[in-house]
Every structure is written in structure tokens, then in C-alpha cells.
Amino acid sequence: MFKIISGKKDIGAEIICDLKKINKGNIKKINLALLKYGMLYFRKQNLSSKNYIKFAKKFGKLAEYPRLKGLNKKYPKITVVQRKASDKGPSFGEQFHTDSIYTKKPPRFTMLLSKLVPKKGKANTEFCSQYLAYNDLPNKIKKKLKKYKGNYSSEGPISITTQERFKEKGKINKELKSRHNIIRKINNKYTIYCSPGHFVGFNSKLKRESKLEKYLFNHQIKKKFQFSLDWEMSQLAIWDNRSMLHQATPFKGNRIMHRITIQ
Ligand SMILES: [Fe+2]
């Protein structure tokens, strides 16, 4: 059984299959679907950490997350994203962002596997297609943005949520910085590649373009480019970190996610 169920818009699709039993042909279809829909989710997947790593490796080399410690010695590439009902302040990743954009080579894909979730619809992850956002830009702005690079910092606007996690896990990092083109091409499709959660300015040689910055951020996250993913237990989601912004919706409750990123 391998079936792709897509929604109305080209943002997000569900795949019905058993991830423990997929073959090479299925992986090819998943890769193609990722290019088209940006984010895919698989419900009712009872994966052990070993199975999870095995599946993730089919998409490339596993990346190390520079800001958080791994699950344990055996599975250092699985990071635990946890929220407790008693936690105060924002959840991890509560602003639209691209994972680890402040590194020289941010991961291509991110995966989350739910281990514990609050009631369905209570703690969603929202995705925002930057392919659609790019296509919807006026030509004049497309042309302008192609000349720009963005500067990013691990201590950008979203970092308050990671600081909360440091307190728990005790892994402290120095500030990480990077610079990337604002518009990039992935398999002949243009996408906006800009993480509002980590952005600290356009290329330093250009004057601060606060009007353009505001315009871009407003445009990138319009509702019409969004898909909101409901979480249930044992659900896996994978997304293209280059073309999809994502954010956690604010919630109160217990949630545990196992996260893997792929280079
Ligand atoms: Fe994230």
C-alpha cells in the first residue's frame, strides 16, 4: 500500500504506507512529492529509533543540530523537542523560520516523529510554501530580491525559544552567523529562502531596506501559502527546509517530538 493524498493547494500531502516496509521506488515517489508539496506526513507509524534513523538515511547524510544535545549516546542524531505543561514562555520554534539557516550549509530536510502530543488540533505545526510565495511576488520585487543576500544569526528574533531549551539541556553554543541568497532555485523552481526568525539584515553593502524587509516578511507568511498540520501520536512529518517555512503554534500541554535533520 502506497498512496499519496494531496489537499487543494500544493502545500502538504499525506502518504498512506508503512514506513518500515517501503522500497526504493517508494522513496523516489516521496522525493518527487517533497518537491511538489514541500511537506509530507505519515500517520500511524510505529517506528523505533532504529527504524526512524534507517528511514531518514534514505534521504541523505544525517545532520547534527548545533544547538541541542542528541537523544542519547546511541542516537546522537535524534534531537528531542519537548514541551511540558508546566513550561512558561513560548514553545520551541514559535515563529516562522528555516531550521539552522544561520549555518553555512543548512539542512535540506527536517523530520519530526511525534512521541507524545496534546489533543488533536491543539499543538499544530504550520507550514508556509515559499514556492507559492515566490510565484505570487510582483516581477519587479522578484528581480530586486535576486540581487540580495540575507544575514542570519542563531541569536535572531526566534532565539528566545532555544534559550529556554538550553536551560534544560545545558548545551551552550556561541553565536552562529551565515549569509545566503534570498532567492534560490531548487530543481528549476524558484523559492524565497529567508527565515524571519533568524534574519538580521540584508547584505551589509546595501543600505538597510526596512521597507522591503517588512514587505517580504508580510508576504512570505500569507495565509494562502499555509498548511496547518494536526499532530497525532506516532505521526511522522518530513519537509523541505529550503522551500517551506514552519512554526509551532502556541499551546499548553505535554509534547515530545523526535527530530532528525538531513544535510
Ligand atoms: Fe524548526
Ligand 1 center–CA 125 separation, angstroms = 9
Quote the ligand 1 centre to 146 CA distance (angstroms).
Answer: 25
Alpha carbon of 247 to ligand 1 centroid (Å): 6
Tell me the CA–centroid distance for residue 235 and ligand 1, in Å: 17
What is the spatial distance between Cα 36 and Cα 167, in angstroms, rounded to a whole number? 38
C-alpha 258 to ligand 1 mean position (Å): 12
Q: How far is the CA of 1 from the centre of ligand 1 (A)?
A: 30
Helix (H) or strand (E) holding 215: helix 210-220
As a whole number, the mean pLDDT across the chain is: 91
Q: According to the model, what pLDDT value does residue 8 have?
A: 74
pLDDT, mean of residues 192-209: 86
What residue ranges define each of the domains in the chain, with the CATH number in brackets? 63-262 (3.60.130.10)
Residues 221, 108 contacting (CB under 8 angstroms): no
Report how far ligand 1's centroid is from the alpha carbon of 38 (Å): 14
Question: Cα(41) to centroid of ligand 1, in Å?
Answer: 16
Residues with Cβ–ion distance below 5 A, ligand 1: 93, 99
Average pLDDT estimate for 129-150: 96
- Residue 198 — pLDDT band, cuts 50, 70, 90? very high
Give the contacts of 252 (CB within 8 A, at least 6 positions apart): 85, 118
96 alpha carbon – ligand 1 mean position (Å): 8
Q: Could you read off the pLDDT of 152-161 as tens digits, one per residue? A: 999 988 886 6
Distance from the CA of 32 to the center of ligand 1, in angstroms? 22
Cell of 31: 522525493
Here the cell at position 69 is 544535545
- Assigned C-alpha cell, 246: 514552519
CA distance 218 to 174: 30
CA distance 229 to 159: 23
pTM over 0.85: yes
pLDDT grade, residue 214 (50/70/90)? very high
**Which residue do the cell numbers 520585487 mark?**
141
**23 DSSP assignment:** -
**CA–centroid distance, residue 140 to ligand 1 (Å):** 31
The Å distance, Cα 63 to ligand 1 centre, comes to 14
Q: What is the pLDDT of residues 153-191, one digit of tens each?
A: 999 888 866 655 555 555 556 899 999 999 999 999 999
- Tell me how far the alpha carbon of residue 97 lies from the centroid of ligand 1, in angstroms: 6
Q: Which of 57, 7, 22 is nearest to 229 (CA)?
A: 7
What is the Å distance from ligand 1's center to 107 Cα?
A: 11
Alpha-carbon 54 to chain mean position: 20
CB 218 within 8 A of CB 28: no
Instruction: Give 143 Cα–ligand 1 centroid separation in angstroms.
Output: 29
